[in-house]
Amino acid sequence: MLVKKYGEYALITGASSGIGKEFAISLAKEGFNLFLVARRAKELDSLAQELRETSKVDVIVHATDLTSQNSVEELEVYTQNIDIGLVILNAGMQTHGSFIKTSLVEQEKMLELNVMIPMKMAHIFANRLVKKGSGSIIFLSSTFAYQAVPYFSNYAASKSYILNFAEALHVELAPKGVDVLALSPGLTKTEMPDKIAMDFSKMPISMMETDAVVYTALNALKDKKSSVIPGGRNKMMAFMAQKMMSRASIANMFGSMNVKAMEASIL
Ligand SMILES: NC(=O)c1ccc[n+]([C@@H]2O[C@H](COP(=O)([O-])OP(=O)(O)OC[C@H]3O[C@@H](n4cnc5c(N)ncnc54)[C@H](OP(=O)(O)O)[C@@H]3O)[C@@H](O)[C@H]2O)c1
């Protein structure tokens, strides 16, 4: 059981919906107490209530905007006396469409949430876990991390950072008893793709369910893998990007697929 191996509590950022919520449900079933983070207090409270009743675990809710000033420092203080053994750095946002048409403020906010916040939290929690001699950190990357993706240029680049960062930390922290996993889902049924002005039926991909993504991640963690891509088709796309096509060809391929599938107004 992961809970015996790592510690009493799992901390999950972005637990109010999608993949983060699914992690909360699965880890409660594994017997983890939970420390849930996201902005929407109402969603977190109702999930917490449900999990306390169904899984008989303790659930602490911390509603915060992670991009607000001092959010990470506050989290560091609030969690200092809690035995957190598993940290899931999942909260994320996406920008898409023509880079030059998108707002610079949104692009900066995305880099803060997708890159700076997980890096800062990893620094705090990796230090604590190393001191404890056990624990784990899961980072949310994406299959977009495996190549340049025109019209998701900054988002895909943020996920490439996370993939490389997590795989490097896996090597650094394994001898110190801390397991690190980069989880790179492909398109997954959550609120995130709902917000994209795009016809996904024009893409050669299928959407995965969140439970399959989380199941794959937890098995990869148990197997001490450094990196995992859920789904055969997603694995194949990443393999093609890395081994079968040049970087320029795969970027051009994604560019033309996205132009066909995205609404003209955002291109
Ligand atoms: N869905 C996909 O196709 C897909 C594919 C590959 C990777 N991913 C990655 O998976 C992760 C989870 O995304 P998802 O698909 O589950 O999307 P989602 O349902 O939109 O979940 C995003 C989560 O992040 C939280 N969040 C967003 N901004 C925040 C902020 N400023 N402060 C604190 N929390 C914030 C949201 O909660 P609040 O709104 O309540 O704050 C929500 O709980 C992301 O890192 C995403 O990039 C998703």
> What's the rounded Cα separation, in Å, for the pair 12 and 85?
11
Question: What spacing in Å lies between the alpha carbon of 259 and ligand 1's midpoint?
Answer: 24
Domain boundary assignment for the chain: 2-266
- Nearest ligand 1 atom, CA 15: 43
Looking at residue 200, its pLDDT comes to 86
- CA 120, CA 115: separation in Å to the nearest integer? 9
Query: Which residues have any ligand 1 atom within 6 Å of their CB?
Result: 14-20, 38-40, 43, 65-67, 90-93, 113, 140, 142, 185, 187-188, 190-193
Contact 40, 63 (CB under 8 A): yes
How confident is the model at residue 71, as a pLDDT?
Answer: 97
Structure token digits, residue 210: 């969140």
**Which positions are annotated as active-site residues?**
155, 159
93 alpha carbon – ligand 1 mean position (Å): 6
- C-alpha neighbours within 13 Å on the C-beta side of residue 4: 2
Q: What is the pLDDT of residue 205?
A: 79
Which atom, in ligand 1's list, is nearest to the CA of 68? 31
Burial class (CB in 10 A: 0-12, 13-18, 19+), 54: exposed
Alpha carbon distances (Å) from 110 to 57, 160, 231, 244, 263: 33, 14, 26, 31, 21
pLDDT of residue 218: 97
What is residue 203's predicted lDDT score, i.e. its pLDDT?
Answer: 83
Look at the pTM and tell me if it is higher than 0.85: yes
pLDDT score of 201: 86
Beta carbons within 8 Å of 72's beta carbon, 6+ residues apart: 66, 117, 120, 121, 124
Q: Measured in angstroms, how far is the CA atom of residue 125 from the centroid of ligand 1?
A: 20
Give me the torsion for CA of 16, 10, 67, 132, rounded to 10°. 180
Q: What is the pLDDT, as a whole number, of residue 21?
A: 98
* Predicted pLDDT of residue 5: 86
Token couple for 252: 């051009």
CATH, domain range 2-266: 3.40.50.720
CA dihedral over 67, 73, 78, 81, signed as positive or negative: positive
| Mutation to probe ligand 1, out of 35, 93, 163, 209 (largest number of atoms < 8 A from CB) | 93
How many Cα atoms occupy the beta-carbon half-sphere of 136 within 13 Å? 26
Residue in 42, 47, 30, 37 with CA at minimum distance from that of residue 13: 37
Strands (E), 21-92: 33-38, 59-63, 84-89
Strands 178-183, 227-228: pairing is parallel
Provide block-wise average pLDDT over 10 residues at a time, the chain (267 residues).
85 98 97 98 98 98 97 97 97 97 97 98 98 97 97 98 98 98 97 89 88 98 97 94 94 95 92
Q: Whose CA is nearest to atom 46 of ligand 1?
A: 92
Pick the closest to residue 124 from 178, 174, 171, 163 (CA basis).
Answer: 178
